Amino acid sequence: MPSNIVLVTGVAGELGGRLLTRLGNNPDLERVIGVDTSPPREEVLRRIGHAEFVRADIRNPLIAKIISTARVDTVVHASTTCHPAGPGRRMAIKEVNVIGTMRLLAACQRSPLVRKLVVKSTAAVYGASSRSPAVFTEDSELIPASSNGYAKDAVEMEGYVRGLARRRPDITVTTARLVNLIGPDVDTVLSRYFAMPVVPTVFGYDARLQLVHSSDALAVLEQATLHDRPGVFNVGGDGVLTLSQAIRRAGRVELPVARAMMPSVSRLLRGARVVDFSSDQVRLLNFGRVVDNTRLKKVFGYIPRWTTQDAFDDYVQGRGLRPVVDGQRLAGLATAVDGWRAKL
């Protein structure tokens, strides 16, 4: 049975807002309701279509009322933030991530009309360490990198989602574990990170990064909302970039910092309100994380249109990042030397 009345949480966020405009312009849906504590961004409101925005907190019992009175049949939970871009208050984010999810799922369980739940999760649930396998599949063990970080929230949240799926087997549950999001117009921790002229890295480590373009992430969430795709899926582009490679592609200056100094650097960046550099994030820069997207392609039926490298280049161009170190020109020099040599 196709979805008809959709509730989207976290519409003030990057993906939630976009998803709301997509669904709001879909004539097959009878009603689309966006929920968040703060209104969506201006451009989202302009292109919202027939979708509505309700200012509500998912931690509030009001959410159950909205779900039952609007006769919602599909809930898209996109409000969890694992990699907040800017400095936020840790406890406040944890509240929304964990308590908000519990409340929302309780409301879903109570309402007999809810048939589908789509959850935006994160690949950070797999953690990142020297003992991790190089590539995580959906069946890999979930070992969050730190015991109190956002990734831990996500692991707890997924636990509650599994609990709901067990208690209400009639609900189709889709969990999308997204790798780090990138794109020309999204504000994520990595988009802020690579926009800095001098990029601090952990000395002696060159992490493997896998990215997903925001349009691909959005398409996955949209398809999961419109069609039935039960299961857990890793969502990431094909291919891998190393951190140093990405820095050079963006023309930034790499600043290796000793691992012991990293907490001070991240505090400094937080204090300057540049980028939120959580401990999960530092672990990611240490060891990197790559997920297997075979299940997304074969079972879910979505082929990511952007590879990691293309998505990153799109971000660099779309942002109009002016290179601090012009690798292209230096490389041109090397090629020119090669040319002269050939002539001699």
Q: Which residues bind other proteins (CB under 8 A)?
A: 130-135, 137, 140, 202-206, 208, 210, 239-242, 244-249, 259, 287-288, 290, 309, 327-328, 330-332, 334-335, 337-338, 341-342
Long-range contact pairs involving 55-62 (C-beta distance under 8 Å, separation at least 24):
57/100, 58/9, 58/96, 58/100, 58/101, 58/103, 58/104, 59/95, 59/96, 59/99, 59/100, 59/103, 60/103, 61/103
Cβ nearer to other proteins, comparing 38 with 335: 335
Geometric angle at alpha carbon 220, from 13 and 164, rounded to 5° = 80
Shortest spacing between CB 247 and other proteins, in angstroms:
8
Local structure of 136: helix, strand or coil:
strand
Name the strand (E) or helix (H) holding 122.
strand 116-122
Geometric angle at alpha carbon 335, from 328 and 319, rounded to 5° = 10
Shortest spacing between CB 337 and other proteins, in angstroms:
6
Cβ nearer to other proteins, comparing 42 with 139: 139
Shortest spacing between CB 254 and other proteins, in angstroms:
11
228 contacts 281 by C-beta, under 8 angstroms: no
Cβ nearer to other proteins, comparing 227 with 295: 295
Shortest spacing between CB 100 and other proteins, in angstroms:
33
Cβ nearer to other proteins, comparing 107 with 290: 290
User: Cα 207 to chain center, whole Å?
Assistant: 18
Cβ nearer to other proteins, comparing 106 with 325: 325
Shortest spacing between CB 203 and other proteins, in angstroms:
6
